[in-house]
Structure 1
Amino acid sequence: MTYTVRDAFYDFCRSVGMTTMFGNPGSTELRMFRDFPDDFGYVLALQETVAVAAAAGHALGTGRAGLVSLHSAGGVGHSLGAVFNAYRDRVPVVILAGQQSRPMIRHRPFLGADEPAAFPRPYVKYSHQPERGEDVAEAIAEAYRIAMTPPRGPVFVSVPEDDWDLPAEPVPHREVRADFTADPAALREVADALNAARSPVIVVGPGVQDENAQDLVVQLAERANAGVWISPLSGRSGFPEDHRLFQGFLPPVRSQLAARLDGNDVILVLGAQVFTYHVHDEGPYIPEGARLFHFDCDPAQTAWSPVGTSVLTTIRGGVRGLLELVERSDRPAPPVRARLAVPEATDPIPPELLVETLREVMPADAVLVEEAPSSRDLMHARLPITRPGGFLTTGSGALGWGLPLAVGRSLASSGERIVCLIGDGSIMYSVQALWTAAQHRVPMTVVVINNRGYGAVKALGRRIDLPTVPGTDIHDLDFVQVARGMGVPGRTVTKAADIEPALLEGLGHDGPFLVDVTVAADDSPAYEPWAR
């Protein structure tokens, strides 16, 4: 029998452990599915955003690249918000898109993509339609290696449908080892600055979690007696938030961020952009007289950072190098972060009470996936993430990511419960993911913070003295009925006394469960707590 492109593709995927495919099939992908291997799984998503985000969640849970099949130009177009999030959040996803057969391409056929490789750019690390069908499997292997090389991210390959049946050769085995460390002189400069600092501080970004470097960062912070902040709008945690040195979350506003770091003379940023801002204002990027050092594996990001000295390194390699050079310090430790008081149980329900109750009842090994922009600050203030991998969200802001991300992470669960804390506006961007959750009986509890509108947009409006923003009210949605229609049971909560029993029911359910909690609306402006 002839060894085909299809055979070479599946053999390669099998060799790297990429045997779960997420997708929404169409006509131009049918030949890829001939003799679909028994050792592969196909996870059906009812919309392409869901397919990409679920593959990303699976990748974050397994540590391996996610595999996605999309349908030609239309399917790729549907998915691009999730592709954008995967790119900004550095999640390795190998995206395949069907294309009409090669003899038809020049005639601009129905479902054909005119410039398929250009379509997802610039939000992929690699994008290609091979010139020859015989080269498809090796192009996918190259894409995979690029996806998994720091900084990791999504890649894209367009495959004409008639390529799959062509004869091919097996993909040769290759590996890329990419744990690299900065020049010793650069590490010595940073270590000397930390050793001589009066009040150093570390800013932890998602790159710390991406590289499983949290243990090393804890060692470095304790040795230097340095306070630790999470970078603005980070898609991961990266430092135990119950640690005595943890200081909180930096705001995405330039002047407020600089004010938070006032008094620190040396700032070390690890695996984060310097810095992510959401709204513009003037002022210095960092306090006057402070020195900033930045570790990251992305040469593009280190090149455009507006302030400080950037060091090109993987986080594990760079922090390991610093641990050999930084001396144990007896300088005074920063003050311990205060624990907020638990709000009273009143009706209508304060969103703070919902988050506090979730903190009390959520299993210790649960993974929290969040997409509730108007409640994110209070969640960070009241629900500490204490273990690696315990928190996921989007670092880019395109909605529709959280629910399918949670589904994909649930499919990679080894027994831990996945809790998706999501806004009533956010969930409707990709509510179809509930059906996929039901089909696979994933261990997921969805908690809807229902403030009956796009609360974050309203808050940003109030920040610029715009008290009323059109199109930001959401009424007459019954999320429990929607979930039940997709096979997910649920419960509606409107009274404070019912929060705990509803959450316990949802967390203990065998399979997915949705809890819809109606909360009081917040009329404060965005980022106002940081301005006080």
Structure 2
Amino acid sequence: MRTVRDAVFDIFRRYELTTVFANPGSTEVPLLAGLPDDLRFVLALHEGSVVGLAIGWALGRERPALALLHSAAGLGNAVNAITTARENRVPLVIIVGQQDRRHLALEPFLAGRLDRLAGDYPVRVDQPVRAQDVPGAVLRAFHEATTSRGPALVVVPMDDWQAPFDDETVAAPARLLRPVAVADADLAPLVELLTGARRPALVAGSGVGAGWSALVALAERLGCPVYQESFGGRAGFPQDHPQYAGVLPDDRIRLRERLRPHDVVLAVGAPVFRQYSYEPGPLVEPGTAIALVTDDPAVAHRSPADLAYLAAPESVCARLAELLPTPARGGAFSRASGREPYVGGPLRHVDVLHELAGRLPHDVVLVEEAPSARPDLHAIVPARTSFGFISAAMGGLGFGVPAAVGLRMALPDRPVVAVLGDGSTLYGVQGLWSAAHYRVGVLFVVLSNGRYAVLDRLADKHGGGKGPWPPFTEVDLGAMSRSLGCPAQRVETYADLTATLDEVLPSLATRETPLLLDVAVGVDP
């Protein structure tokens, strides 16, 4: 007898969902016991790491990844990572186990109220009415995750897996096509706006994805500066290009000043415009027109733009580069530079970043989760490929460690470096076990200052007095890493730093075991 489980496994195979990231419980055992040999199971020790690994895997392979969560406890633990997947626009199919359908009405032990537990962050949540509807729900979740570029959830009671599935209909298309061409007539208003601009500018966002060539062609045709969106989850433009002009400020006063010279600003794959602390006033000065190209409906609908296109950025940029005339402008544009290299004394995080920048290979995949060091990382370490800067756009901690592991699993021939704060590392430290167990050769560079330095800075800026949170200098991340099976080294001096990087980085692309560098740094002013 063909079962629901058999039908879902066939869907996994057909749509390349053959790696299952999970931390299972009893409600998932009927699915996993006797898992076929052609399906790979990857264990993580916390559900945040489960989804974090899946995020990295999906980013690296540029297609949906599969995660399995355990009822209310597992889904609840993973909500932070699910919000990151949504904000980073990473396609995930997430199956959530549920208690036996036959006594759910009595709310048995481990039954979960799951439909709204993750809030509005999933792009779809499905609780199939019948067991036989599960395969269609899983396939629809794959299509929804791909189309909306986000996490799609399917809640499956544990007894559904063994239900019969002979001659049943799968309520989803076997193949779904998404044409992306944009007609020249539809582009005419944007062509007119850019052709008449005296000093245009582009803002590149993570929504550009890996298709940089079209945006580069458009930038070079316009001969204008290109800014990176603030708090983006991914670099949207090569940051060693002469037209790259740095990351946009995340407050309105400095944003208006930075964009003041431009009469037209076109945001590509980026919202208009991402901010942090609230400040009153408009985003741009009067007289500056804003245009937007995005394939995210939510971004298109909420952005205060004069002209917005809901379309594939790569297709629009490629055609604009052909339609626009070449203006009489061009050249390099100034941007903020990094601080001076090491000058003696205790290590600072900028010293670590300088030494990394001089040694990282061109094709490095760099995952960042070091909030207090992020501005200096942007200034010192340019992203030279679309994977040269990956971060959590949502801002919740716990992304860096597991995402780096998932990325290296998906891209085994590329060097992967995670630059992390010690506070951030503690949120996703369980991912080190998965890195060690599955022999995933990521280099974790932890900037250890024994405190939440970014919070200290915010308290100083707020002016309301010192924050009540203590430092956590007792934490030994090296010992914690080794206890999880991941080798670790303590780095306390400049000589130790340079010697270690010289030893490790040349072989990083072929490394089969992870390594955590616990780098002692002071608190930069």
TM exceeding 0.5: yes
Counterpart residue number, 1:526: none
Distance 2:235 2:337 in 1: 18
Structure 1 residues 219 and 347 mapped into 2: Cα distance closer, same or farther (>3 Å)? Answer: same
Distance 2:115 2:482 in 1: 39
Counterpart residue number, 1:71: 70
Helix, strand or coil at the partner of 2:368: strand
Distance 1:502 1:81 in 2: 34
Helix, strand or coil at the partner of 1:361: coil
Distance 1:244 1:337 in 2: 10
Whether 2:462 is the aligned partner of 1:458: answer no
Counterpart residue number, 2:109: 110
Contact 2:224 2:330 in 1 (8 A): no
- Of 50-59 and 179-188, more deviation after overlay is shown by 179-188
Deviation (angstroms), 1:459: 1.3
Deviation (angstroms), 1:253: 0.8
Deviation (angstroms), 1:139: 0.4
Helix, strand or coil at the partner of 1:324: helix
- Of 186-195 and 327-336, more deviation after overlay is shown by 327-336
- Of 386-395 and 177-186, more deviation after overlay is shown by 177-186
Matches within 5 A, 1:131-210: 131-149=129-147, 151-168=148-165, 169=168, 171=170, 174-182=174-182, 184-209=184-209
Q: Which runs of 5+ in 1 are unaligned?
A: 524-532
Counterpart residue number, 2:228: 230
Distance 2:305 2:173 in 1: 42
Deviation (angstroms), 1:396: 0.8
Helix, strand or coil at the partner of 2:304: coil
Cα deviation 1:291-328 (Å, max 9, x = unaligned): 11011112232111134321111112221231232111
Cα deviation 1:189-225 (Å, max 9, x = unaligned): 111121121111000011001xx32100000000010
- Of 78-87 and 355-364, more deviation after overlay is shown by 355-364
Helix, strand or coil at the partner of 2:60: helix
Counterpart residue number, 2:387: 389
Distance 1:219 1:244 in 2: 13
Aligned length: 518
Amino acid at match of 2:215: V
Distance 1:368 1:272 in 2: 20
Cα deviation 1:427-453 (Å, max 9, x = unaligned): 001101000000011120000011211
Identity fraction in percent: 37
Cα deviation 1:5-55 (Å, max 9, x = unaligned): 111111011101111010101000111113311111111010000000110
Deviation (angstroms), 1:360: 1.4
Matches within 5 A, 1:243-392: 243-333=241-331, 335-337=333-335, 339-340=337-338, 342-392=340-390
Counterpart residue number, 2:46: 47
Deviation (angstroms), 1:512: 0.1
Contact 1:244 1:337 in 2 (8 A): no
Deviation (angstroms), 1:93: 0.8
Distance 1:441 1:265 in 2: 52
Distance 1:503 1:136 in 2: 50
Amino acid at match of 2:153: F
Contact 1:490 1:506 in 2 (8 A): no
Contact 2:21 2:43 in 1 (8 A): yes
Contact 2:367 2:419 in 1 (8 A): yes
Amino acid at match of 1:130: P
Helix, strand or coil at the partner of 1:474: coil
Amino acid at match of 2:191: A
Whether 2:241 is the aligned partner of 1:239: answer no
Counterpart residue number, 1:13: 12
Contact 1:285 1:307 in 2 (8 A): no
Distance 1:458 1:182 in 2: 48
Distance 1:177 1:214 in 2: 23
Distance 1:341 1:110 in 2: 57
Counterpart residue number, 1:530: none
Counterpart residue number, 2:469: 471
Contact 2:362 2:385 in 1 (8 A): no
Distance 1:369 1:413 in 2: 13
Helix, strand or coil at the partner of 2:41: strand
Q: Which runs of 5+ in 2 are unaligned?
A: none
Distance 2:181 2:256 in 1: 29
Whether 2:90 is the aligned partner of 1:91: answer yes
Distance 2:185 2:470 in 1: 53
Counterpart residue number, 1:515: 517
Counterpart residue number, 1:527: none
Helix, strand or coil at the partner of 2:6: helix
Distance 2:332 2:279 in 1: 28
Helix, strand or coil at the partner of 2:427: coil
Give the TM-score normalised by the residue count of structure 2.
Answer: 0.96
Contact 1:448 1:516 in 2 (8 A): yes
Cα deviation 1:232-254 (Å, max 9, x = unaligned): 11010021101010000012111
Structure 1 residues 333 and 290 mapped into 2: Cα distance closer, same or farther (>3 Å)? Answer: farther
CA RMSD of aligned residues (A): 1.6
Helix, strand or coil at the partner of 2:444: strand
Distance 2:313 2:122 in 1: 22
Deviation (angstroms), 1:331: 2.0
Counterpart residue number, 2:487: 489
Deviation (angstroms), 1:342: 3.5
Give the TM-score normalised by the residue count of structure 1.
Answer: 0.94
Deviation (angstroms), 1:170: 7.4
Helix, strand or coil at the partner of 2:106: coil
